[in-house]
Chains A and B, each alone.
Chain A
């Protein structure tokens, strides 16, 4: 049995996950929490948010995110890939900055207009 706190929403439900019993989750107030409990113990993932350079624009950075959660172990590789990026304006919310970043299947997309 493992105790977890769900990060699915600000409620922060306290979950108990039973590894012996097909990762059955108790304590979740919604289905999202039940899914989180299982995946957190088998294949933990996070959405990564950061910024990338923008050539000659103000502000100098454009915020970005992965459009799906990526494996926790790949977070720093994703950060490294972002270092190499330089956008030029105009940038629109949702523009793909890096497709299939580090082979995770997730795209890095812009989260602001510049």
Chain B
């Protein structure tokens, strides 16, 4: 038997893609998930702040996931839990293993990759010092506290001010721990402003910007961490050290898309996003294999994951039912000044209905900015935005008409600060 669409990963991306594939007419749709339940990372994100765009109300992570899980249950979409996908091939075979079914090789007309991302660990950013117990990533701590019910420490320092670190600062405080400081290497926070306010300010937790951890002390368990200010080259400045007596260090130093399957399948990866290069309909460079959600680029908001994944699911269904689509002229999107990446990286103008949404991030904080899209020397579109920051994904919508008119095969997205 050949599936129309196999979705790998049952987080919000996989759930939305599977549902949309079904709505679009795909008959046999299967979700493969390695965990014991659907919902992905949302199951441990018990705080609220999800769904303002999609559901127009503020939900917690499990509630947001719950709504999609319920919708999937009301269809004939098949779900295999506790099933780890080991390999995906360009011929659209999926190798997976589970306790109940053993090793299986499944075939599909279209595949959607929705494996999410994982956290960077201490190794990935190499802090000096001893290696005692009590150093863990913020997301691991979140899972222990919120799902298993274990407290991870009493006196806590957090390295990194991404959203997970901020959310955990509040969470640990509510559970009775003392959070001594949140320490951020960059001169700005990597998290959403609202999280700085409601997670740090509300509980008087100091945020040290332009600081890093230069030493971890402790024999069996963390006893102290030493932080220092850094210069503009991010080098610690001697003489600025501060010592914190603590038993736990939480790392919130970023997420990396989980792309082993993608790489092993020989699918092209974008060095900037660390995810697959994708077209306007979320197809990768391999015909019939699509990708969406955090496996493509790290999202701050699950609502955007859902929208992007619906696009992937729709395109996967069309591909399964009608075969490949000829999208006409291909335009490659390039980074201009202050832009770190764009998704999609490539646009086939013939596949764009009215507007093509383009997501990107900037490399510095800007109060007022002008975003320009350039075709050679010509500015073909410009947009104004306020408060751009690396921690917040931005999007613009390019009308098909403009794309069709582009003379070259490359467009550059560029951002500059204006007074």
Binding site for B on A (CB under 8 A): 5-10, 12, 14, 46-51, 53, 58-61, 63-65, 72, 75-76, 79, 93, 111-113
Contact, CB under 8 Å: B198 / A7: yes
Q: A7-B197, A93-B66 are in contact. Are A61 and B60 (CB under 8 A)?
A: no
B174 in contact with A75 (CB, 8 Å)? yes
Contact A61 B48 (CB under 8 A): no
Q: Give Cα distance in the complex from A113 to B175, angstroms.
A: 22
B192 at the interface (CB under 8 A from A): yes
Q: Are A112 and B43 in contact (CB under 8 A)?
A: yes
Q: Which of B194, B202, B301 has the largest number of chain A CB atoms within 10 A? A: B194
Confirm or deny: B24 has a beta carbon within 8 angstroms of a beta carbon on chain A: no
User: How far is A114 from B149 in the complex, measured between Cα atoms in Å?
Assistant: 15
Within B146-189, which residues are at the interface with A (CB < 8 Å)?
146-149, 174-175
B194 near A111 with CB under 8 A, answer no
Also in contact, A51 and B63, with CB within 8 A (given A5-B197, A10-B52, A60-B148): no
Q: Which chain A residues lie closer than 8 Å to B140 at the CB level?
A: none
Residues A10 and B301 in contact, CB atoms below 8 Å apart: yes
Give complex CA distance A98, B348 in Å. Answer: 54
Q: For this complex, into which size category does the number of interface residues on chain B fall? A: 20 to 34
Beyond A72-B202, A93-B66, is A111–B60 a contact (Cβ under 8 Å)? Answer: yes
Between A and B, 11 residue pairs with Cβ closer than 8 Å are A5-B197, A9-B52, A9-B194, A47-B58, A51-B149, A59-B149, A61-B149, A65-B60, A76-B174, A79-B175, A112-B66
> B48, A65: Cβ atoms under 8 Å?
yes
Using Cβ atoms and an 8 Å threshold, which residues of chain A touch B62?
63, 93, 111-112
For residue B58, which residues in chain A have a CB less than 8 angstroms away from its CB?
47
* B392 interface residue per 8 A CB criterion: yes
Q: A49, B48: Cβ atoms under 8 Å?
A: yes
| With A10-B192, A61-B146, A61-B148 as contacts: A79 and B63 at CB distance below 8 Å | no
Residues of B within 8 A of A7 (CB): 194, 197-198
Binary A-proximity of B51-80 (CB < 8 A = 1, otherwise 0): 010000011111100100000000000000
Task: Report the separation of the CA atoms of residues A61 and B66 in the bound assembly, to the nearest whole angstrom.
Answer: 16
Known A-B contacts A9-B52, A111-B46; the reply to A53 vs B193 at CB < 8 A is no
Q: Say whether B193 contacts A12, CB under 8 Å.
A: yes
Question: Which residues of chain B come closer than 8 Å to A79, judged between CB atoms?
Answer: 174-175
| B47 in contact (CB, < 8 A) | yes
With A65-B60, A93-B66 already in contact, the answer to whether A10 and B174 are too (CB < 8 A) is no
Is B300 interfacial (CB 8 A cutoff)? yes
Provide the residues of chain B in CB contact with A10, threshold 8 Å: 49, 52, 192, 194, 300-301, 392
Measured CA separation A48–B145 after assembly (Å) = 16
B171 to nearest A CB, angstroms?
8
Residue of B nearest to A61 (CB): B149
Contact of B46 with A93 in the complex, beta carbons under 8 Å: no
CA distance in complex: A12, B49 (Å): 12
> Bound complex: CA of A51 vs CA of B45, how far in Å?
11
**Contact indicator B63/A46 (Cβ below 8 Å):** no
Smallest CB–CB gap between B194 and chain A, Å? 4
| Complex CA distance for A50 and B300, rounded to whole angstroms | 21
